[in-house]
Amino acid sequence: MAGGRGALIVLEGMDRAGKSTQSRRLVQALQAAGHRADLLRFPERTTEIGQLIGAYLARERELEDHAVHLLFSANRWEHVTSMKEKLHQGITLVVDRYAFSGVAFTSAKENFCLEWCKQPDAGLPKPDLILFLQLSPEEAAARGNFGRERYENGPFQKKVLQSFHHLMNEKTLNWKTMDASKSIEDLHREIKTVAEKTMQEVKDKPLGELWK
């Protein structure tokens, strides 16, 4: 591994904070700067498990809450082999949502504790950097209405945000809160700077295991 491994960089945040836009922009910018970088997103709706999740989110089918939590996790696990291969080949992975969304959304439901929610994802590749795109509910609302998928409503999103804040207290993880109210370009430039710094810092370090 002459050039070292790639970095695992995750973007999290509330709906309409700009995660997908910024993830795409980051990968494009890293590639343009000569780095090897790939974009991933979870749920990854193209696999069989992902299609089941897609149908659940679109309200086309019902799934029991524990079962769907485990499917979201399985959807990450089914990508772990290829993620590790890429990282070890020196490819940086930019990931639009990861286990933190998994835990934040399920634990926002009645009768789910954080610890139970984290267990299925324990041992996944540990992100080197987690960018939390912070946007107030008011600013999010100003960007447009919610879509029609499951979970896209204000009261539920407030609970999700509280769960994210619990997760962000974990000091063993490298969380960075970004002000997502900035313009797309300004936010992009800041994200690119911290991403490149992280890539440099971790290239000779082993990849960690999440929540282990």
Q: Shortest distance, CB of residue 142 to ligand 2DT, whole angstroms?
A: 18
Residue 151 site contact among Mg ion, ligand 2DT, none (CB < 5 to 8 Å, cut-off depends on kind): ligand 2DT
Residue 57 site contact among ligand 2DT, Mg ion, none (CB < 5 to 8 Å, cut-off depends on kind): ligand 2DT
Element (H, E) at 8: strand 8-13
Closer residue to Mg ion, CB minimum distance, 181 or 211: 181
Of 12-20, 21-29, 70-78, 192-200: span binding Mg ion (CB under 5 A): 12-20
Chain position carrying tokens 């324990």: 122
Q: Binding string to Mg ion for residues 14 to 53, with x set by CB under 5 A, is what?
A: ------x---------------------------------
Query: Do the Cβ atoms of 165 and 175 come closer than 8 Å?
Result: no
Residue 125 site contact among ligand 2DT, Mg ion, none (CB < 5 to 8 Å, cut-off depends on kind): none
Q: Shortest distance, CB of residue 57 to ligand 2DT, whole angstroms?
A: 6
DSSP letter at 121 equals G
Q: Shortest distance, CB of residue 97 to Mg ion, whole angstroms?
A: 7
Closer residue to ligand 2DT, CB minimum distance, 29 or 112: 112
Closer residue to ligand 2DT, CB minimum distance, 97 or 188: 97
- Dihedral sign of CA atoms 53, 54, 56, 61 in order: negative
Closer residue to Mg ion, CB minimum distance, 41 or 109: 41
With a CB cutoff of 8 Å and minimum separation 6, the contacts of 202 are 4, 5, 7, 128
Q: Shortest distance, CB of residue 43 to ligand 2DT, whole angstroms?
A: 5
Amino acid at 172: T
CB atoms within 10 A of CB 200: 11
- Residue with the CB atom nearest ligand 2DT in the bound state: 102
Choose among 24, 1, 15, 201: nearest CA to 91: 1
Q: Shortest distance, CB of residue 187 to ligand 2DT, whole angstroms?
A: 18
Cα-flanking dihedrals φ and ψ of residue 136, to 5°? -70, 155
CA trace torsion 155, 157, 159, 163 (10° rounding): 180
Which residues does residue 177 pair with via DSSP β-bridges, in sequence order? 132
Alpha-carbon gap, residue 156 to 147, rounded angstroms: 14
Residues of this chain that bind ligand 2DT (CB under 6 A): 42-43, 57, 72, 97, 101-102, 105, 151
Which residues are at the interface with Mg ion (CB under 5 A)? Answer: 20
